[in-house]
Amino acid sequence: MRELVPAVRALWQGDYAHDGEIWQFPTSTSVPKPIQRPTPPMWIAARDPASHDFAVAQGCNVMVTPLMKGDEEVVDLKRKFDTAVANHPEVPRPDLMVLRHTHVHSPDDPEGWRPAAEAINRYYRTFDAWFGNKAAPVNGFLPPSPESKFEDRPEFRPESLHRTAMIGTPAEVVERLRAYEELGVDEYSFWIDNSMSHEEKRASLELFIKEVVPAFQ
């Protein structure tokens, strides 16, 4: 990444050959050229302080992902971002985005959180199966790792994911996003990939658009 970010920007400008430690390629360019000047905005996903520092130093926007952790992780990631910004006063402050698994359910269904939390649990268990690389996919898919493998990981239980993932009624989601806004988060990314059906995802997204977004306009 540290080689490719400046290399991509050079390719946007015109002919460029790269002879780096990790990547090498002959004279190349991008066609068509981007309209934005000097370059289009670039986003870097960052967790550790060094990644935050590199992103800010390069003038890139930063996306952070708390995963299955609570909002205390958002606060810590914001602290790392702020430290990087303070260390590079010569760079205009980039934007900060938070990406979270998100599901909005009707306030008329007090148990509406449970299918989403169970689906996100299944998402992480499926990711674990892919990451383990111990089984061959069938028609492009792998079954999730068994729940027994996560018995000693309380952060993956549906009740915990209900608290940590962005799951709730429109009013509950607005309240949490207000806290992000007050913390200094510039953008929020709705992570819709959670193993639920298309219809369930669509209903959640519609609620977000109709009842959450207007609170921030």
pLDDT tens-place string over residues 161-174: 999 999 999 999 99
Mean pLDDT across the chain, nearest whole number? 96
- Domain shared by 170 and 152, yes or no: yes
Which residue range is the domain that position 30 belongs to? Answer: 1-40
- Domain shared by 29 and 87, yes or no: no
- Domain shared by 103 and 198, yes or no: yes
* Exposed / middle / buried, residue 148 (Cβ in 10 Å: 0-12, 13-18, 19+): exposed
pLDDT tens-place string over residues 32-66: 999 998 899 999 999 999 999 999 999 999 999 99
- In sign, the C-alpha dihedral spanning 192, 195, 196, 198 is positive
Total structural domains within the chain: 2
Q: Are 110 and 169 in contact (CB under 8 A)?
A: no
pTM, two decimal places = 0.91
Residue 217 — pLDDT band, cuts 50, 70, 90? confident
Structural tokens at position 206 = 């519609």
pLDDT tens-place string over residues 118-153: 999 999 999 999 999 888 999 999 999 999 999 999
